[in-house]
């Protein structure tokens, strides 16, 4: 099987996507075809044997073959016309905007490209933390109390410490812990620099955090181990950045069976049918034996390969179990009836 890895794009997490994409060379056994989308949303075919981070920071990627997206495939110029890029399935590994907000998903579906990744509706729910909270509540999954604000709102924080998050960013970009009122204005300025809306939650020091990745293959859930990420005060950008290049297996968290079952139950409720066709990671909090969803990672860093015993097998099986687009027959029956009626 040939897997076309789409990465990069116009996003604050552009560079992180590059790191994740390169990490796939160490964990996937299938033939990889790298498809880079630059900040101008131009596509390039990057040779697998020469891909490295410096290729992008130097701009040398522009020497690679330019690609266009057409019905059923990516194509590039050939001696006589165009040549289709030989790919069996697309792996969307574009973090942040374009990849996780549904733009690329819409393009893949419009051009009939089979792909691994969140569909449009799943992107809408998981990309926006405010919508994630509402969705979680609707599927009986608890979340930490929160307030949602947009730029220009009067923001009144009564009790500290709190954690401030831009609503539509990942990788802890723009996130701040505010312990005193004197720190609030600066933290708000930082968050609103990246987004027009924010989430403010109580910051609970020492709360337990657990990560679980998984997917659904032929209707059956396939889970990774549950990991307790090692962190200082919270998992900041620098620590998360290192995760995007991880390929060595993580250690399984020590949990009692009741909490483990509750985390998996919450994951299933979140995944539901909305995330069919994707491999996601859910990050949970546990406090007083209660499980809370922190966030949904619809395209996790390095696809959370380090949480799986055999990531290659899981991804290959998922590629063969993608949801089918519903076939809609256009008959023009209604239009014909109108025309017939007018002709009477």
> What is the mean pLDDT of the segment spanning 287-296?
95
In a domain, 335, yes or no: no
Nearest-angstrom CA–CA distance, 261 and 249: 22
Residue 97: asked if its preceding bond is cis (omega within 30°), the reply is: no
In a domain, 159, yes or no: yes
28, 27, 26, 9: which is closest to 17 by C-alpha? 9
**Predicted pLDDT at 344:** 54
In a domain, 330, yes or no: no
Same domain? For 211 and 315 the reply is yes
> What is the mean pLDDT of the segment spanning 308-337?
93
pTM (predicted TM-score): 0.90
Asked if pLDDT for residue 247 goes beyond 70, the answer is no
In a domain, 286, yes or no: yes
Contact 128, 310 (CB under 8 A): no
SS3 68: strand
CATH number of the domain to which 314 belongs = 3.30.470.20
Same domain? For 230 and 180 the reply is no
**Predicted pLDDT at 149:** 95
- What is the secondary structure of 150-215 as a DSSP string? ETT------SS-EEEEETT--TTTT-EEE-SGGGHHHHHHHHHHH-SEEEEEE--TT-EEEEEEEE
Same domain? For 176 and 102 the reply is no
In a domain, 332, yes or no: no
Q: Which residues of 63-91 are buried (b: 16+ CB within 10 A; e: fewer)?
A: ebeebebeeebbbbeeeeeeeebebebbb
Same domain? For 198 and 214 the reply is no
Residue pLDDT, tens place only, 199-241: 999 999 889 999 999 999 999 999 999 999 876 555 554 554 4
Same domain? For 7 and 112 the reply is yes
Total domains in the fold of the chain:
3
CATH number of the domain to which 185 belongs = 3.30.1490.20
Range of the domain at 234: 206-319
Residue pLDDT, tens place only, 163-177: 999 998 766 788 999
Nearest-angstrom CA–CA distance, 172 and 279: 20
Asked if pLDDT for residue 289 goes beyond 60, the answer is yes
Residue pLDDT, tens place only, 91-133: 999 999 899 999 999 999 999 999 999 999 999 999 999 999 9
**Predicted pLDDT at 241:** 47
């Amino acid at each position: 099987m040939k897997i076309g890895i789409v990465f990069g794009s116009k996003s604050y997490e552009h560079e992180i996507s590059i790191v994740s994409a390169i990490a796939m060379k160490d964990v996937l056994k299938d033939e990889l075809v790298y498809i880079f989308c630059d900040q101008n949303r131009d596509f390039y075919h990057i040779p697998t044997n020469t891909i490295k981070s410096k290729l992008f920071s130097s701009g040398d990627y522009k020497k690679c073959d330019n690609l266009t997206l057409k019905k059923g495939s990516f194509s590039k110029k050939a001696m006589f016309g165009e040549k289709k890029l030989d790919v069996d399935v697309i792996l969307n590994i574009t973090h942040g905007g374009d990849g996780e907000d549904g733009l690329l998903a819409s393009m893949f579906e419009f051009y009939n490209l089979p792909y691994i990744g969140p569909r449009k509706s799943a992107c809408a729910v998981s990309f926006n933390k405010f919508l994630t909270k509402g969705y979680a509540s609707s599927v009986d999954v608890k979340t930490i109390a929160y307030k949602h604000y947009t730029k220009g709102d009067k923001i009144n924080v009564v009790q500290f410490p709190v954690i401030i998050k831009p609503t539509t960013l990942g990788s802890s970009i723009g996130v701040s812990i505010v312990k005193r009122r004197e720190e609030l204005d600066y933290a708000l300025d930082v968050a609103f620099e990246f987004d027009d809306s924010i989430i403010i939650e109580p910051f609970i020091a020492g709360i337990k955090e657990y990560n679980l990745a998984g997917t659904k293959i032929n209707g059956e859930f396939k889970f990774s181990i549950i990991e307790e990420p090692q962190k200082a005060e919270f998992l900041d950008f620098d620590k998360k950045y290192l995760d995007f290049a991880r390929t060595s297996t993580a250690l399984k968290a020590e949990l009692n069976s009741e909490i483990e079952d509750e985390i998996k139950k919450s994951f299933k409720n979140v995944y539901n049918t909305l995330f069919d066709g994707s491999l996601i990671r859910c990050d949970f909090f546990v406090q007083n034996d209660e499980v809370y969803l922190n966030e949904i990672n619809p395209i996790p860093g390095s696809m959370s390969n380090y949480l799986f015993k055999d990531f290659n097998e899981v991804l290959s099986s998922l590629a063969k179990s993608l949801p089918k687009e519903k076939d809609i027959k256009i008959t023009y029956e209604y239009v014909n009836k109108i025309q017939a009626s007018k002709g009477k």
